[in-house]
A and B are shown apart, each in its own frame.
Chain A
Amino acid sequence: MDLGAQEIADLVKSSKVSATQVVEAHLDEISRYDSRVNAFLLVMAENALEQAKRIDVRRSKGEELGPLAGVPIALKDNMAVSGFATTCGSKILEGWKPPYTATAVKRLVAADAVLIGKTNLDEFAMGSSTENSAYFPTKNPIDPTKVPGGSSGGSAASVAARFTPIAIGSDTGGSIRQPASLCGIVGVKPTYGLVSRYGLVAFASSLDQIGPFARNVQDAALALQVLAGHDDRDSTSIPGSHFDNSFTDRVAGLRIGVIQEMTTGISGAVEHTLNDAIAFLRSMGATVEAVSIPSTTYGLSAYYLIAPAEASSNLSRFDGVRYGLRVPGADITQTYEQTRAEGFGAEVKRRMMLGTYALSAGYYDALYGRAQKVRTLILDDFAKAYGAYDVLISPTSPTVAFGLGDKTDPLAMYMADVCTIPSNLAGHPAMSVPFGCDEAGLPIGIQVLAPAMGEQIMFSVAQSLQNGAAKPAVPVWRRD
């Protein structure tokens, strides 16, 4: 199934194809090829077919269908869908079925999208390769010996492997954009507060945002239009917010800054692609200049104190009392310690330890407190940069996809997020668009960053980049 989301919705709405046919074809694709990719933790075949049937019945009655009519969607398995297992890629939640549905998922269903399955992720979204899943690693569809990136690796792989035209991920430090870049697709992290977090299992509450993956910019925008909007169950949801899926591909006259701090330490191929992108944008009439945002250098440090701190608190609820795994001990304390020792993987333990330490007596001010001040510097620096530039660009990832099992040092893995983290700390939108690849054919994405609620202009630049990306240069999934 090579059809995009907009194409499917148009065909279903105009009765040229039934939603059932669309869903069957995609389920068939998954059952044939997912064993090579391991994108899915759960395929909701029966539910998807029932949903498709209901859409077809409504269409046959002449009812008007939603903007995602019949479009199969894969969800990262850290979003609650009532009655379906939600594991967060962790043993501690194995078998748990939430009794409620995430707001973002409700909005997709209300737009007549079809939920086709839950995708693999680094446990509790902590990781940049999807190797930290307690179940199995996901492989990069472009080259199955490579990682798909993470933590939303399963969702990225689902879209790259054409199992679904759209998948939903969550991005705390780059978990949508980095895998999008590594898998050669489009991935969007919206402005913090644009998409409701209700029903997204929290990793770092002040940084988490839900966003879409798609194979083209228009489909990503279509999905974001459905996802975006105020939710009174989420106190951090922006009142009156929405995203209007109408934007141009015009960049002429735009002032575009290239973040200098994000062009050091990147691979040659990535640098080459970035230069191509700069040249293309200039050729389209944009002014492209280097800009320094000094505080972004400290983003990684701030992030690896703030995110683990919030995570250490968010993950305290997994205690074996109300749901999920329990490893009984002699008393409650022992039960907690054994349950959590067995239920969590090494990376989650590492970050909870780091976060607990950063918040503990005597270290709060020097670690967590300072990190929050760095956040202020980053916001101030971005504000200054946006005084001079309409949007900013950078590579999404310093390198192309690395080999499965190659990165064993946690700190080296954390470096994978160096370009994506500042947007989370600032709460700003950013997205990754595929623009090239290295000699081995591994994809390279360009990151477009915009100020808060600047999605419209961000999408325009992304659309332009998509037009400029040399078609054969962006590799695609080869089934055979």
Chain B
Amino acid sequence: MSEQEISEEETLHVAHLARLGLSGAEVKSFSKQLSAILQHAKDIATLDLDDVVPTKHAISLMNVMREDTVGDSLDRDEVLASAPEAQSGMFVVPKILGES
């Protein structure tokens, strides 16, 4: 393998997009492993796919919809009971950047 497909810097950027805190060692090992996997996936780079339509779904269903009628909602207390933190009937989260 000549060059790493994905650098450590890119690995860090991707980790941030995925909101995954990585240790320095993890950044190194993921960078290597992801590069190896991507290197293997390069076999599809050689295919001539210009005129091929991408497949989004294996089955071709269309317009699957439901009626606009109200159904049951969950019990609030039951839902909040599994929340890491709750108060006044709401989910509590740590400070959101940009809010004041």
Listed in ascending order, the chain A residues whose CB lies under 8 Å from chain B are: 95-97, 99, 191-193, 206-207, 232, 235-236, 238-239, 297-298, 300-302, 304-305, 312, 316, 319-326, 328-338, 340-341, 344, 349-350, 352-354, 356-357, 360, 366-367, 369-377, 379, 410-411, 414, 425-428, 452
Listed in ascending order, the chain B residues whose CB lies under 8 Å from chain A are: 6, 10-11, 14-22, 26, 30, 33-34, 36-38, 40-45, 47, 49, 52-59, 61, 64, 66, 74-75, 78-79, 82-85, 91, 93-97
A319–B20 contact, CB under 8 A? no
**Whole-angstrom distance between the Cβ of A138 and the nearest chain B Cβ:** 24
| Cβ contact of A379, chosen from B14, B33, B55, cutoff 8 A | B55
Q: Apart from A356-B17, A373-B55, what are 14 other A-B pairs with CB-CB below 8 Å?
A: A99-B79, A206-B57, A238-B61, A301-B41, A301-B42, A316-B19, A337-B19, A354-B34, A370-B44, A374-B47, A375-B55, A379-B55, A411-B33, A411-B40
| Cβ contact of B56, chosen from A99, A206, A298, A324, cutoff 8 A | A206
Report B-chain residues with C-beta under 8 Å of the C-beta of A316. Answer: 18-19
**Whole-angstrom distance between the Cβ of A56 and the nearest chain B Cβ:** 31
B83–A322 contact, CB under 8 A? yes
**Whole-angstrom distance between the Cβ of A335 and the nearest chain B Cβ:** 5
Report A-chain residues with C-beta under 8 Å of the C-beta of B11. Answer: 353
Which of B52, B59, B78 gathers most chain A CB within 10 Å? B59
Which residue of the partner chain B has the closest CB to A319?
A: B19
Report A-chain residues with C-beta under 8 Å of the C-beta of B18. Answer: 312, 316, 340, 352-353, 356
A370–B47 contact, CB under 8 A? yes
A356–B14 contact, CB under 8 A? yes
| Cβ contact of A232, chosen from B38, B47, B66, cutoff 8 A | B66
**Whole-angstrom distance between the Cβ of B24 and the nearest chain A Cβ:** 13
| Cβ contact of B41, chosen from A99, A236, A304, A379, cutoff 8 A | A304
Given contacts A192-B58, A236-B57, contact A357 B82 (CB under 8 A): no
B19–A206 contact, CB under 8 A? no
How far apart sit A84 and B53, CA to CA, in the bound complex (Å)? 43
Which residue of the partner chain A has the closest CB to B80?
A: A322
How far apart sit A379 and B75, CA to CA, in the bound complex (Å)? 44
| Cβ contact of A349, chosen from B20, B43, B61, cutoff 8 A | B20
Given contacts A206-B58, A322-B91, A331-B97, contact A353 B45 (CB under 8 A): no
**Whole-angstrom distance between the Cβ of A354 and the nearest chain B Cβ:** 6
Q: 8 smallest A-B Cβ distances: which pairs?
A: A427-B58, A372-B54, A337-B21, A326-B84, A341-B21, A336-B19, A375-B55, A301-B41
Given contacts A321-B84, A357-B6, contact A340 B21 (CB under 8 A): yes
A352–B83 contact, CB under 8 A? no
Which of A301, A328, A372, A452 gathers most chain B CB within 10 Å? A301
**Whole-angstrom distance between the Cβ of B39 and the nearest chain A Cβ:** 9
B74–A99 contact, CB under 8 A? yes
Which residue of the partner chain B has the closest CB to A357?
A: B14
A193–B59 contact, CB under 8 A? yes
Report B-chain residues with C-beta under 8 Å of the C-beta of A373. Answer: 47, 49, 52-55
The 14 sampled A-B contact pairs (Cβ below 8 Å) are: A192-B58, A298-B44, A304-B41, A321-B91, A335-B94, A336-B19, A340-B19, A353-B15, A370-B45, A371-B41, A371-B44, A374-B49, A411-B37, A452-B58
Report A-chain residues with C-beta under 8 Å of the C-beta of B55. Answer: 372-373, 375-376, 379
How far apart sit A319 and B94, CA to CA, in the bound complex (Å)? 12
Which of B36, B53, B93, B95 gathers most chain A CB within 10 Å? B93
Report A-chain residues with C-beta under 8 Å of the C-beta of B17. Answer: 356, 360
Report A-chain residues with C-beta under 8 Å of the C-beta of B78. Answer: 99
How far apart sit A340 and B15, CA to CA, in the bound complex (Å)? 11
**Whole-angstrom distance between the Cβ of B1 and the nearest chain A Cβ:** 12
**Whole-angstrom distance between the Cβ of B73 and the nearest chain A Cβ:** 11
Which residue of the partner chain B has the closest CB to A342?
A: B21
Report A-chain residues with C-beta under 8 Å of the C-beta of B19. Answer: 316, 319, 333, 336-337, 340
Report A-chain residues with C-beta under 8 Å of the C-beta of B38. Answer: 354, 357, 367
Report A-chain residues with C-beta under 8 Å of the C-beta of B66. Answer: 232
A332–B30 contact, CB under 8 A? no
| Cβ contact of B20, chosen from A326, A340, A410, cutoff 8 A | A340
How far apart sit A379 and B60, CA to CA, in the bound complex (Å)? 12
**Whole-angstrom distance between the Cβ of A425 and the nearest chain B Cβ:** 7
A301–B40 contact, CB under 8 A? yes
**Whole-angstrom distance between the Cβ of B10 and the nearest chain A Cβ:** 8
How far apart sit A242 and B94, CA to CA, in the bound complex (Å)? 48
